[in-house]
Chain A
Amino acid sequence: MSDFFSIFDFALILSALRLTSPILLAALGGLLTDRAGIFNIGLEGQMLVGAFLGFAGLYWTGSAWLGLLLGVAGATALSLLFGLWVIRLKGDPIIVGLAVNLFAIGLTAYLTLPVFGVQGSYDDPALEGLPRLFGFSPLVYLGALLVPALWWLLFKHPFGVRLRAVGEDAEAASEAAVHPDRIKFLACGLCGVLCGLAGAQLALSLVTQWVQGMTAGRGFIALVAIMLARSHPVGAAAAALLFGLAYAMAVRLQGIGIPPQFVSMLPYVLTIAVLVLLARRLRNRPVTT
């Protein structure tokens, strides 16, 4: 038992902040589409493409920054494709989101061989990830800054007003001379950018390597953070921190000899537990089954 308590130290907090970052960035992205009235389970796939192309960009150019750019571009393209399918072709968001996730898994696993010349995962110690400022990648700071920025955008800026109007009642919004489709596409585009950053934080900073399926459900956990926060940036940040802490604890518990698979369950079990225990918070929001 003393072993268990020994994991709670300052290093755990630092590690939790790093592990929070991808969940937070994806949650902030998904929050925008959610506010526009689109239930987006495709965050997972967008992150995965961001991670893959982010690392591939680093591999091709030697620059983590160019990798980041490529990852963001790829995730945004996928998110806009999701938008096209949902907004214009009127596909069911859940099924299209599922298709996005499966497409991302298939695409990245397929391209691993032609791009890196191996199957599964690729790692080259010579490749250098994103630089660190006082121990954190710039994306950790960016995520933290985006919380107030998104709050301002959503509640103080005309775009946020329009976005929320579209999400609540697209028809009424269009009567008020707002173009709902344009706003929704913009939300999808921004969501893609943020998910691309989330993927880059995974593959260019937390580790500097590509591992097949490395997002491992973080997009769904981000989705839960959005639901618990009722799409409020500050609440989403709080939920993301909790889940980041669970990831950090999982890493440390492996260090004291608890089997890895057992420990890896922790973030998912915690996410479900929080969802069930705080179920009352979810009410009043549009039912999204």
Chain B
Amino acid sequence: MRDRGFAVGEALLAVAIALAVGALFVLIADDSPATAYEALWTSSVGSTNALAQSMTTAIPIIVVGLGMGLAFRVGLFNLGGEGQMILGALTTAVVGHALASLPGAITFVLAVVSGCLAGAAWAVLPALWEVFLRVPLVVTTLLLNYVGALLATYLAAYPLRDESGGSTLAQTAEIPSALQLPIIVPNTPLHAGLFAAVLAPLGVLWLLQRTSLGYAMRMTGLNRDFAETGGVPMKRTIVTTMALSGALCGLAGALLVMGQTYRYLDDSIVSPQTAWSGLAASMLAGFHPLFTFVSGFFLAALQTGGSGLQLATNVPLQLVNVIQAVIIAMVAVRLWLGRRVLRR
């Protein structure tokens, strides 16, 4: 428990430093940090509606953060959460639309499962290259982000484009209403995907703490050589971990489509840096699934506040991306300290 208290203190320190750096950037944009942070606060948690908006934004961030964080805990730098999430979102949108004539429940299950599978496939590929060819997956997952994003844009702009509404944006057709997650707080965007964001951390925690696969995963994360000597089937553990990691990222994309956009909307994931917010949240939480929920909400509130910030002041909303990067840089130093303590 003492360890955990330490981590919370470090996380708060990282956030404080990042917000201070953010204040400097507000000064560059020729505005007052007090006004900017007040606007950020008001539009992120200042009212019921803002709070619900932040919680809605948090849903995919938490789930994609759990996915990427799961791989990181096992010592696998899955930097491809973005591409995995994009393919999950696109697949859910396309399958949901294509199977609209089936009974609602069947469409629902097939659409969600296919979204997870698409994300998993995009993560298993680099895992197999890593395991059998020793191609570092940190590089291939990064490159696959670009391939995934361009592939999705191409599909949404040409073969799968929604021609009905005359929209100028590249987007697929709307998913059937059976697939659209119900709003749980009236007059706000907050949808039933929240339950997934609550259950997923519990599921990951259960996996890590209560199953033999989770035990193998944790041991691999602590010391790969030691785990292998101790009988952990390394190749299988790496591939399975990446599959689960990618499936969670794909689920995050599915939740975005079913709860917010109701279709695959081009560039609904890359520009808001949803996947990277998720990773930042996971790192801030020390890769603990339950704390990821809290830090995910915090980073989502920052995102939501960023839009309000841009409306109320002349501070661009990308301020939150700067803050997020500083948080990761600060946490990077702590991660290493944690490892050193373990080694000695």
Contact = CB atoms under 8 A, between A and B. Distances in A.
Interface of A: 41, 85, 89-92, 94-96, 98-100, 102-103, 105-107, 109-114, 119, 216-217, 220-221, 223-224, 227, 259, 261-262, 264-265, 268-269, 271-272, 275-276, 279-280, 282-283, 287-289
Given A96-B329, A106-B318, A259-B157, A217 B143 contact: yes
A92 B336 contact: yes
A69 to B, nearest CB: 21
Nearest to B31: A114
B138 A119 contact: no
Contacts of A280: 133
Nearest to A45: B325
B154 A220 contact: no
Contacts of A262: 150, 154
Contacts of B214: none
A275 B135 contact: yes
A91 B142 CA distance: 20
A94 B138 contact: yes
Interface residues of B, number: 54
Name the residue in A85, A276, A282, A287 with the highest tally of chain B Cβ atoms < 10 Å from its Cβ: A276
B325 A110 contact: no
Given A106-B318, A282-B135, A259 B142 contact: no
A86 to B, nearest CB: 9
Interface residue SS majority, chain B: helix
- Label chain A's interface by main secondary structure: helix
Contacts of A107: 322, 325
B321 interface: yes
B277 to A, nearest CB: 10
Contacts, number: 152
Contact of B143 (A94, A98, A110, A272): A272
A272 B130 contact: no
A289 B137 contact: yes
B147 A269 contact: yes
A112 B314 CA distance: 12
Contact of A95 (B150, B276, B283, B314): B283
Q: Which 9 A-B pairs have the closest CB atoms?
A: A106-B321, A279-B133, A103-B325, A99-B329, A261-B154, A102-B325, A91-B332, A106-B322, A110-B318
A287 B147 contact: no
A282 B319 contact: no
B46 interface: no
Interface string B131-155: 0011111111011111100110110
A104 to B, nearest CB: 8
Nearest to B331: A95
Interface in B1-55: 25, 28-30
Interface string B71-96: 00001110100000000000000000
B283 to A, nearest CB: 7
A279 B336 contact: no
14 contacts: A90-B336, A91-B329, A92-B335, A98-B279, A102-B276, A102-B324, A217-B143, A220-B139, A221-B143, A265-B151, A268-B150, A275-B139, A276-B135, A283-B134
A288 B319 CA distance: 32
Interface string B311-344: 0001010111111111011011101110010000
B15 to A, nearest CB: 14
B273 interface: yes
Given A217-B142, A227-B139, 19 more contacts: A89-B333, A89-B336, A91-B332, A96-B332, A103-B322, A107-B325, A109-B318, A110-B25, A114-B29, A114-B30, A221-B143, A223-B139, A261-B150, A268-B143, A275-B135, A275-B139, A279-B129, A282-B133, A283-B134
Given A41-B142, A103-B322, A110-B316, A265 B150 contact: yes
A287 B30 CA distance: 46
A248 B194 CA distance: 46
Nearest to B144: A272
A106 B22 CA distance: 11
Contacts of B151: 261, 265
Given A94-B77, A262-B150, A220 B134 contact: no
Interface in B208-224: none
B343 to A, nearest CB: 12
Contacts of B29: 110, 113-114
B285 to A, nearest CB: 14
A103 B25 CA distance: 12
Contact of B75 (A85, A91, A289): A289
Nearest to B126: A272
Contact of A90 (B130, B150, B279, B333): B333
A253 B133 CA distance: 32
Contacts of B321: 102, 105-106, 109-110
Contacts of A265: 146-147, 150-151, 154
Interface string B163-200: 00000000000000000000000000000000000000
Contacts of A272: 140, 143-144, 147
Contacts of B276: 102
A261 B150 CA distance: 5
Contacts of A90: 333, 336-337, 340
A99 B77 contact: no
